[in-house]
Structure 1
Amino acid sequence: MPSLQHLADAAVARGVPGVLALVAHGDRVETAAAGVRSLGGSPMTADTIVRTASVTKPIVGALAMAVLERGDLALDDVASRWLPELADLRVLRHPSAALDDVVPLQTPIAVRHLLTSTSGIGLVGDFAAPLMAAHAERLGQGADARARPAADELLRRVGMLPLAHQPGAGWTYNTGMDVLGILLERVTGTPLDDLLRAMVLEPLGMVDTGFALRASQASRTATAHRRGTDGAAPDEVDTPAMLLDDPPVLASAAGGLLSTAADLLRFWRMLAGGGALDGVRVLSEASVRTMRSPLVTAEPGNPFLDDQAWGVGGAVDVAPAEPFHAVGRYGWIGSWGTATYLLPGGTIGIWLSQLEFASPEDMGLVGDFLVEVARRDRA
């Protein structure tokens, strides 16, 4: 069976600038690093800081559960109480319909809809749908979270677009998580980064995680890369220097966190421990069970969910359609080449690179790692 080092080296040989792979089970942790943080730059190391992209989602999902536990919100609360921009929406007749082919809203968006990505705000399974282009062009819902407008402007623009489906009647991806983050800010009166730090990051000792890059972190931060005709090339607008000089205006709950393998391991160990780590409880066991439960599904063939289910902030495997699936596995992947999963046997897998997923081959690289994680969990 391949070692982690073999998998990391193989990814670099196939064009990924740098990789850090980690597998943990209980107190046992194995890591492997290969390649560089940036082409021609420093080696990839265990303390490298990366853009987590959508690996942000489970972490913000945990924050939302903590806010619910505190009593600031209830699942059936109507979101427009705090987000009036969502009070008077229209709904597409079909997710692939023209943006003006709409029907009235039948049910208001509730907190539970934002928590489970069933609000109708988000990306749909038909990549050619007019709504997909609108979310990319008007809401900045691409790989670069720095393209998203500030919170109030994002909500204003969301309110001008139709929903993909009636709240609770489907599943949509990404944008709704950004809206959930803004909801948490408005409900608590606290900026999302401060709220996350107080309720999740500091209790877990996640010292390198946040929505903004600190100057002291820049030297060990990997550069984002994209594939071109001649191989991987740095994204000139998303280098560590640019993150410092021109930081994101939105703390994106859908994909804006920076972190390290060590910090991410502490978060996933908390989930594996039923909501507590090193004697510090962040979530109740019931909240962790909810996060890891298959709460909703998308339409068959949805390219985001791949016929699996969605919990809170991440996918839950309900069928072993691929070798890396394991019924009950919970976690998610990020567009900048990141993946974090907790498997039913307690194994945690973390894969960190900074090459945008742009092809099935790129996805296959992390897939090889996830197959090995699943094999170890079964062993």
Structure 2
Amino acid sequence: MPTVDQTRMDRIKPWMQTYVDTRKFAGSSVLVNQGGTEVFYHDTGLRDVATAAPFTRDTVARIYSMTKPVTSLALMMLVEEGRIHLDAPLSAVLPEFADMHALVKGATSIDQVERCPVPTLHQTVTHTGGFSYPFNPGVLPKAMEDAKLLFGPSEGSLAEVCQRLGTLPLAFQPGTRWEYSVGIDVIGRVVEVLSGQSLDAYFQTRIFDPLGMTETGFAVPDGALDRFASLYTPLASGAMALNNAENKSADTLRCVDVADRSPFRAPSTLSGGGGLVGTIDDYMRFCEALRTGGQGLVSPATLRFMMANHLPGEIASMGPSSFAEQPMTGMGFGIGGSTVLNPARTRTPSSVGDFSWGGMASTFFWVDPVHDLSVVFFTQLSPSSSYPARPELKALIHGALS
């Protein structure tokens, strides 16, 4: 196993501080494990600018799309138990998706559709099913935005939101393209139906409790509200207004969600695509389960299958125009996260097989099988496309490896 040069690893500290000093991030933390042993931790800055509360190790943060690998693991646990197979049509579990239409190529309105097959569970979980996100460009995202279909914390039960989503067409014929989407939110509802439990109950009993993740959930944990970080954006129009990303605020740290008024105190929507909050140590426990082969939640063979590339080639080869939490060249996509196929093509120092994903508030994780690393980065700045923190951090850490 390669050794870590601590002097070089300490370069991360001034890098983090520069982001705080230039008011790009209010605060942040980085945790690095190698071979199951902590080799680096540092935090800096504030979790709330108004109160000057520090961004500490026990800070509770919105992990947004870093929820997706958790939901994907939950699906694979059910697949491994023989409850369903990945080529099953979505309608086998959720009948609201039985009669599917997709927008015709070049559609300019939401009613320009043609019949299409029902997406499979595999297509849905790998973002090739034809679903989208409101912040993507295109006809379907605009319709989703008008219908408030982001699977945000206050949109109703998963059953209700999926019923509403089922009334809209798909953005494209299933299997023909890759587009970042609410597909894994839909998978969260699949987990509920197959397990007979609400998604929060399934996560708690089957994943969080076994891994010792005591401060992760869809709602801020009891007694942790004073540790819940505020959310900031440099945008004037909204924290997830990617289509208006050029509309910058005069304040690079404009606060858009604070603990006392946050919808994450008591969410009605259990978003499997972006609803979890938690601490950096809790998420490291999840990463370590991925790194070590499942820790009994799934078999090592199932985990290897999850973290393999499930696309015909790079994400970029499937012609996406959508936002994504990772580069698309040199990257494949597995069950719930991306995997590095060619580090040179990603233009970021990395290892073949790195499995990773990030969240809209600029959080990020990766598991490196070559160097036996698990890395988690926490901050609270949306959107995650604001600054190149992720490739910079990967370069810093690779620069500390022999």
TM score, norm. by length of structure 1: 0.90
What is the CA–CA distance in structure 1 between the aligned matches of 2:302 and 2:254, rounded to whole Å?
41
What is the CA–CA distance in structure 1 between the aligned matches of 2:320 and 2:347, rounded to whole Å?
14
Q: Any residues of structure 2 matched to 1:193-272 within 5 Å, and which?
A: 193-227=200-234, 228-235=249-256, 238-243=257-262, 247-272=266-291
Contact 1:224 1:234 in 2 (8 A): yes
Deviations 1:248-285 (A, max 9, x none): 21110111001111111111111111111xxxx11111
Unaligned runs of 5+ in 1: none
Partner of 2:233: helix, strand, or coil?
strand
The one-letter code sitting in structure 2 at the alignment partner of 1:347 is L
**Aligned-residue offset at 1:96:** 6.0
The one-letter code sitting in structure 1 at the alignment partner of 2:100 is L
> Aligned pair 1:365/2:372, yes or no?
no
Deviations 1:8-31 (A, max 9, x none): 212211211110111111213311
Deviations 1:87-126 (A, max 9, x none): 1111112276532221111x222222223222212249x9
> Aligned pair 1:306/2:306, yes or no?
no
Q: Any residues of structure 2 matched to 1:1-379 within 5 Å, and which?
A: 1=8, 3-15=11-23, 16-26=25-35, 27-39=37-49, 40-94=51-105, 97-105=108-116, 107-123=117-133, 127-141=136-150, 145-227=152-234, 228-235=249-256, 238-243=257-262, 247-276=266-295, 281-296=296-311, 297-298=315-316, 299-300=318-319, 302=321, 303-304=323-324, 305-307=327-329, 308-320=331-343, 321-345=346-370, 346-357=372-383, 359=385, 362-376=386-400, 378-379=401-402
How large is the RMSD of aligned CA atoms in angstroms? 2.2
Deviations 1:275-328 (A, max 9, x none): 11xxxx111111111121111235246452522211011111112222244321
The one-letter code sitting in structure 1 at the alignment partner of 2:251 is D
Unaligned runs of 5+ in 2: 1-7, 235-248
Contact 2:29 2:379 in 1 (8 A): yes
What is the CA–CA distance in structure 2 between the aligned matches of 1:87 and 1:244, rounded to whole Å?
32
**Aligned-residue offset at 1:41:** 2.7
Partner of 1:309: helix, strand, or coil?
strand
The one-letter code sitting in structure 2 at the alignment partner of 1:199 is R
Count of equivalent residues: 366
Contact 1:64 1:115 in 2 (8 A): no
What is the CA–CA distance in structure 1 between the aligned matches of 2:106 and 2:100, rounded to whole Å?
15
Structure 1: 4+ residue segments shifted above 6 A: none
> Which 10-residue stretch deviates more, 163-172 or 43-52?
163-172
